[in-house]
């Protein structure tokens, strides 16, 4: 797998994790009965893992790729903060 393909894989995975965590956070905010604490916690853990993965791949990224990585990492940090505040 080339570095470009690897980076795209990490970026796509991070975006999926953000979408899932956002959905869980919205359910939690609405106090939906179907919210599962284990799923909510798992979403938080996945955000952290994605953040760490992106940190690693940013070292070998081009400046343009680093910009996209930083944007996604900022989204992750904001979502993590929102989820912690909601607990």
Q: Number of structural domains, the chain? A: 1
CA 74 to chain CA centroid, nearest Å: 9
Q: Which domain covers residue 33, as residue numbers?
A: 3-86
Residues with Cβ within 8 Å of 53's Cβ and at least 6 positions away in sequence, in order, are 10, 13, 14
Least confident of 33-37, 40-44, 47-51, 69-73: 33-37
Q: What is the mean pLDDT of residues 1-6?
A: 72
Predicted structure pTM score:
0.87
Q: What is the mean pLDDT of residues 25-52?
A: 87
Write down the mean pLDDT value for the chain: 90
**DSSP type of residue 34:** T
Spatial distance between the Cα atoms of 3 and 9, rounded to a whole number of angstroms: 10
């Amino acid at each position: 797998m080339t570095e470009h393909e690897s980076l795209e894989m990490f970026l796509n995975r991070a975006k999926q994790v953000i979408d899932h965590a956002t959905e869980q956070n919205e359910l939690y905010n609405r106090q939906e009965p179907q919210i599962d604490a284990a799923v909510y916690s798992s979403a938080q853990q996945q955000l952290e893992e994605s953040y760490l993965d992106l940190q690693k791949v940013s070292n070998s990224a081009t400046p343009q790729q680093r910009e996209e990585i930083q944007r996604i990492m900022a989204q992750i940090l904001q979502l993590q903060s929102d989820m912690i505040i909601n607990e």
